[in-house]
Structure 1
Amino acid sequence: MTITSFNPATDAVLAELPSHDEAAIEKKLDDAASAQRQWARTPLAERMALLKRVAQALREQKAEMAPLATLEMGKPLAESLGEVEKCAWNFDVYADAAPRFLADQVVASSASDSRIVFDPLGVVLAVMPWNYPFWQVMRAAAPVLAGGNGMVLKHASNVPQCALALEAVFERAGAPKGLFTTLLVGSGEVARLIDDRRIHAVTFTGSTPAGRSIASQAGRALKKQVLELGGSDPFIVLADADVEAAAAVAVKARFQNTGQSCIAAKRFIVEHAAADRFVEAFVAGARKLVVGDPMTDGTTQGAMAKRNLRDELHAQVQASVQQGAKLLMGGKPVAGPGAFYEPTVLDHVAPTMTAASEETFGPAAAILRVADADEAVRVANGTPFGLGAALWTSDLDRARQLTRQIDAGAVFVNGMVASDPRLPFGGTKESGYGRELGALGLHEFTNIKTVWTGPART
């Protein structure tokens, strides 16, 4: 069996890679288990030194790695370069902060020495998506490895060269063989990997239906899991906001990564008094996007990752227009080779329309007009998802109240939702559970152990 790497901007085949057979899978799992056992006993300072070397290796290899992401999933090269740099930053942050995150937490007691300690769980299986082929993996890998665990990567099958490049980064950094390893296998192998005795936990980023399947499999095996799933993130603009600033950020929040991000703003919920100004500024900004060869300087929107995903987005746009949404720009595939789609803006979208009720994973924005802040929150929460949300207002006291009412794992006030190694990241409702990043992301894959020690007896 082979895994095909193809270029979604040209439809050309980039490589045909052999998948790992049964013998190779067994060898990699054995190596991972052995490496992790030794790694768990490695002094913390040595672990942190490896994280620093990984960050260095990423920066040294950035010029070679970034084009792989662009070629395999279609994002502009400038975004791929930024993605690799963000991975390096993540490892630097954990190298500096993990000793503090992992320090024993002493609980005051007159009768004993009571403390909470954080021990490794073992080898973590990472089942990862294609949209950020480096960042999605490395944001999970840094805390997993800092905590004394190992990682086995099952990456999306359309980014196999990116998956192998990540394994090579750890080799270049001098990681123990097998501590981070890539398996080139199909999705049909995931269930048996979860069941394997050498796998102790699972981290998954992807669609909600796939997350349900992973959770079911891991639940049957009684193995810890963290799930970061889909999103239909609201971008709320109240009448007292800096509307032009909000619109400028909104364009990036929707169309970055060709709109293929769980935390991309997808539903722009705007108070009536500001709606016309916002729409005018938003459309003007979207018209400046340059769709084209993602390897070319100046391109700001590349190809979608797959033609079938483009077809799904187009069907959602068409359905929304038929349901009464007003098409302001775009709305169709770009003619010619590749999976390109026009930057698309839909106005007067109702919450029940397809573009608002489903996750739109591509360059299409839905604008919903509401009467006031209360309705904005109701509409924002009127979805099964709860990943990120943005709120724009000049009244920060009111913002503090409203953020507590929004169902989301993160709310960004007067800014764009983004992941940051220093802050926990994850969702609620059908956007998943558990946290990545920050101290909480590190603790997710540790055995949080209570140690109670009474007075010595002589």
Structure 2
Amino acid sequence: MTVIETFDPATGKPLTTHPVMDDAAIEAAVVEVADAALSWANVPVAQRSSLLLRVADTLEAQREALAALMTSEMGKPLREARGEVDKSATTARWYAENLDRLLAPQQVDVGGAANAWVTREPVGPVLAVMPWNFPLWQVMRFVLPALGAGNTVLLKHSPNVTGSALAIESLLLDAGVPQGVLRVLVVDEARVPEVTERLIDDPRIAGVTLTGSNRAGAAVGAAAGRAVKPSVLELGGSDAFVVLADADVAAAAEAAVRARFHNSGQSCVCAKRFVVAAEVADAFLDRFLLGVAKLRVGDPTDEAVDVGPMARDDLRTAIQRQVDESVAAGARLVAGGAAVEGEGWFFEPTVLTVDGPGVPVFDEETFGPVAAVVVATDDDDAARLAGATAYGLGLSVWSASTERAVALAAKVTTGAVFINSVVASDVRVPFGGTKQSGYGRELSAEGMYAFMNQRTYWAAV
């Protein structure tokens, strides 16, 4: 029997094995979500709201177990894992409390010739291909609005967090969500591209969402295009954190440490490139390095630890390659720069100063605890450096003047701008990227409507 084996990143030792599904089991899951879609779409909105509240309650009741599972499978510090559960519960409550408003028919004034209104209706089963770095939140930020809308979900999670995927399926059943509304696929990694493309082409699957790499996103987007189905892609990011000359340098430096090293730097919206005005560059770098030096690296179950291991050894190898090639190309290593000796897949919190594009830590997405700092001569230069990337997910700008920060942000294409704040996702506002960071939006009303048919009614009078 073919199995998926999961590992503890803090030790590198095996955790458990999960049998993979053969074609017959995959087909049974597709049948189940397709059948469930017919009834789930007709469940009254008030009842779906009640179930989302029960999902929130169940998340809170299972908080410690879910957090411990995520920490064991991908290595995030336990307190960050708890935060992931809390954020998911908050999101479930928001959709529950706003579902009636979000799904109410919208009257449209077209004059006296007719009565017109727009309804929003579920499209049916949606395939969700999800990554490992936020094993619960990445799934829930799609699943909660999808279920609220009346869609069902076929979830293909990352192999190294298979236990978390199965826990999500069990959690929804515990909350009273009907069987078949969400089914998990456990697919042999070598077969994922083939199975994914086949499912997207299946007429029973109404759409697809993916959070992951650009290579996977390109394949899924192409398959969705061929099948003429809606898709949402949330891909990589190389977010700039811009500190202007009038910024509160102490506050910016403190936030910069959180922005880069949260989740051991393994986040699409982690700030990765720090663009700092020349007037404050030395002061910022000094404070930033002091903050990095205080980070505690180690056992992620230790409540005092700030940075856990990387999720897989191959990811650590990739980060080492980016650092080494950048130094060889002229970047200057000012902190860290190497794997931590001993068991587990730890990497030192690392800072490099660079002159701009032309080195991997500036040009590529660095998915780990590595920061690149570059000096800008003025605001126009800062905008140029911030925008010198193929990605376009988020942008953080620090300035005493909101007007000045907005003026800079207008010159940089991103899906979100956070002024004097770290880029983050929040259920109340849409989340998503531009350029190579993908397309479509998650969260808020827009995230729900991404997989709904907006139907126009026109009744002549």
TM-score of the two chains, using structure 1 as the length reference: 0.98
Q: Are 2:394 and 1:388 aligned?
A: yes
Task: Please name the residue that 1:142 is paired with.
Answer: 144
| 1:39-438 → structure 2 map (5 Å cutoff) | 39-109=40-110, 110-186=112-188, 187-188=192-193, 189-438=195-444
Q: Secondary structure at the match of 1:9?
A: coil
Q: Deviations over 1:170-190 (max 9, x none)?
A: 110111111011111132321
Contact 2:383 2:409 in 1 (8 A): no
Cα distance in structure 1, aligned partners of 2:339 and 2:57: 40
- Number of positions where the alignment pairs a residue of Structure 1 with one of Structure 2: 455
Q: Quick check: 2:295–2:307 contact (8 Å CA) kept in 1?
A: yes
Provide the C-alpha distance between the structure 2 equivalents of 1:168 and 1:199, rounded to a whole number of angstroms. 22
Q: Which secondary structure does the structure 2 equivalent of 1:400 belong to?
A: helix
1:198 CA drift (Å): 1.8
How many angstroms does 1:22 deviate by? Answer: 2.0
1:404 Cα offset (Å): 2.2
Letter in 1 for 2:282: D
Shift in Å, 1:100: 1.2
CA deviation vs aligned residue, 1:177-207 (integer Å, no higher than 9, x gap): 1101111113232111212222110010001
- Of 427, 434, 441, the residue aligned with 2:447 is 441
Higher deviation after alignment, 25-34 or 382-391: 25-34
d(CA) in 1 for partners of 2:39, 2:386 = 48
- 1:407 CA drift (Å): 0.8
Deviation at 1:342, TM superposition (A): 0.2
Alignment partners' CA distance in 1, 2:92 and 2:350: 36
Give the alignment's Cα RMSD to 1 decimal.
0.9
Deviation at 1:107, TM superposition (A): 1.1
Secondary structure, aligned partner of 2:139:
helix
In the alignment, what sits opposite 1:8?
9
Q: For structure 1, which segment, 226-235 or 288-297, has the greater mean C-alpha deviation from structure 2 after superposition?
A: 288-297
Deviations 1:368-395 (A, max 9, x none): 1010111111111111100001000001
The one-character-per-residue Cα deviations of 1:343-398 (angstroms, maximum 9, x if unpaired) are: 00001342221110011000000001010111111111111100001000001122
Q: What CA distance in whole angstroms lies between the structure 1 residues aligned with 2:402 and 2:234? A: 29
Amino acid at match of 1:111: A
Contact map agreement 2:52 2:148 (CA 8 A) in 1: yes
1:437, 1:62 → 2: CA distance? 22
Q: CA deviation at 1:267?
A: 0.2
Question: What amino acid is the match of 2:130?
Answer: M
Q: Distance in 2 between matches of 1:302 and 1:340?
A: 7
Q: Mean alpha-carbon deviation: is it higher for 345-354 or for 243-252?
A: 345-354
* Partners of 1:258 and 1:151 in 2: CA distance: 29
Which stretch of structure 1 is more off in the superposition, 316-325 or 301-310? Answer: 316-325
The one-letter amino acid of 1:381's match is G
Identity %: 49
DSSP 3-state at the match of 2:347: coil
- Is the 8 Å Cα contact of residues 349 and 355 (structure 1) preserved in structure 2? no
Q: Is the 8 A contact 1:409 1:428 kept in 2?
A: yes
* Structure 2: distance between partners of 1:262 and 1:121: 28
Deviation per residue, 1:121-165 (Å, 9 max, x gap): 000100000000000000001111111100110000110000000
Q: CA deviation at 1:430?
A: 0.5
Unaligned runs of 5+ in 1: none
Asked whether the equivalents of residues 244 and 276 of structure 2 are also in contact (C-alpha less than 8 Å), the reply is yes
Can you list the C-alpha shifts for 1:256-289, whole angstroms capped at 9, x where unaligned? Answer: 0000000000000001001000000000000011
Residue 18 of structure 2: aligned partner = 17
The SS at the match of 1:143 is helix
AA paired with 2:65? E
Answer whether contact 1:351 1:368 (CA < 8 A) is retained: no
Superposition misfits of 4+ residues, deviation over 4 angstroms = none
User: Which amino acid is 2:154 matched to?
Assistant: V
Q: Which runs of 5+ in 2 are unaligned?
A: none
Whether contact under 8 Å (2:356, 2:385) holds in the other structure is: no
Q: Give how far 1:399 is off.
A: 1.9
Give 3-state SS (helix, strand or coil) of 2:267's partner.
Answer: coil
Question: By how many angstroms is 1:402 displaced?
Answer: 2.3
- Cα deviation, residue 20, structure 1: 1.4
> 1: CA distance between counterparts of 2:285 and 2:406?
26
